[in-house]
Homo-oligomer: A and B are copies of this chain.
């Protein structure tokens, strides 16, 4: 079992690297080649967008497209759009008025390098570019419109932005429930992860049943990812994480380890991954890489 798992891990690691390279090349093109952009703005957008990172959301877009029988190439604009939304949210979250973080992906945060005003505008530019890329480069147009609507709903006031507000409002409070915590994460991380899957599926023109299955997979994976993120904030080291650790606890932020303890948190992450994998069983061999990715999330150390 251990050997099998390691073999799977090696294989999914390679898959992720290949897909990440394709996504990075396309992201670079989108931000570097557009005409008429003030140089300093382009630099600030590229600084955060091309800073590396796991590219989990774009990889999910591409694997979901593959699982539904589509071409990876056709889903690349959607993969890039997801990463643009994710990056803009990090740039804005790091601002002094929000989480006030100085370090991200091992480098000074955007506002530390470019100033707050430019960081706000770079985030706005990335958020807007996500929809430009989706609307212009996804074919056919009806799929592009559906992708824009999905992504906007997941990223917006009832999704990611709403989750960020709920998260801010929960800071510093001493008691809370698992239900409340998961409600925040469902919106803050889960909605965007789930939309990564549904966008990939939409590009492959998947059935509504497959869309729904992948949405469930994405939501369960999102919670597992958040739990492992919280655990890494407690157990990880700054070097591996590329950002400050133990920061959540120091500002009284509600996390899984704080609420449940480390062991129960790990167990809960395991359960979510089992749940995620159940939803992609019907995809058989085509869903194999999504299955491997789910297990990989549990084992990651950064």
Interface residues of A (CB under 8 A from B): 34-38, 40-42, 45, 88, 92, 95, 97-98, 115-118, 120-121, 123-125, 127-129, 131-132, 134-136, 138, 140-142, 144-146, 148-149, 151-153, 155-158, 161-162, 164-166, 168-169, 187
Pick from B131, B136, B156, B158: contact of A35, CB under 8 Å: B158
Q: A92-B120, A118-B165 are in contact. Are A34 and B97 (CB under 8 A)?
A: no
Chain B residues with Cβ below 8 Å from A131 are: 131, 148, 151-152
Give the number of times this chain occurs in the complex, counting copies: 2
Given contacts A129-B152, A135-B146, A144-B148, 18 further A-B contacts (CB under 8 A): A36-B158, A37-B158, A37-B162, A38-B157, A38-B162, A38-B165, A42-B157, A45-B157, A92-B120, A95-B120, A118-B165, A125-B157, A129-B157, A131-B131, A135-B149, A140-B142, A142-B142, A145-B148
Quote the shortest CB–CB distance from A134 to chain B (angstroms): 7
Cβ contact within 8 Å between A161 and B97: no
Q: Which residue of chain B has its CB nearest to the CB of A36?
A: B158
Chain B residues with Cβ below 8 Å from A168 are: 117-118, 121
Q: Which residue of chain B has its CB nearest to the CB of A133?
A: B152
Pick from B34, B38, B118, B136: contact of A149, CB under 8 Å: B136
Give the complex CA separation of A140 and B146 in angstroms. 11
Give the complex CA separation of A144 and B169 in angstroms. 35
Pick from B34, B37, B166: contact of A38, CB under 8 Å: B166
Q: Which residue of chain B has its CB nearest to the CB of A41?
A: B165
The 10 A-B pairs with the shortest beta carbon distances in the complex, nearest first, are A132-B152, A97-B116, A135-B148, A36-B158, A128-B156, A141-B142, A135-B149, A125-B157, A141-B145, A144-B145
Quote the shortest CB–CB distance from A86 to chain B (angstroms): 13
Cβ contact within 8 Å between B164 and A152: no
Cβ contact within 8 Å between B161 and A41: yes
Chain B residues with Cβ below 8 Å from A153 are: 132
Quote the shortest CB–CB distance from A36 to chain B (angstroms): 4
Q: Which residue of chain B has its CB nearest to the CB of A156?
A: B128
Q: A149-B135, A157-B45, A165-B40 are in contact. Are A120 and B142 (CB under 8 A)?
A: no
Pick from B34, B151, B155: contact of A158, CB under 8 Å: B34
Give the complex CA separation of A120 and B97 in angstroms. 9
Chain B residues with Cβ below 8 Å from A161 are: 41, 121, 124-125, 128
**Could you name 27 residue pairs across A and B whose Cβ atoms are closer than 8 Å?**
A37-B157, A38-B157, A40-B169, A45-B157, A92-B120, A92-B121, A92-B124, A95-B120, A98-B117, A118-B168, A121-B165, A123-B124, A125-B161, A127-B127, A128-B155, A128-B157, A129-B152, A129-B157, A131-B131, A131-B151, A132-B153, A135-B148, A141-B144, A142-B142, A142-B145, A145-B145, A145-B148
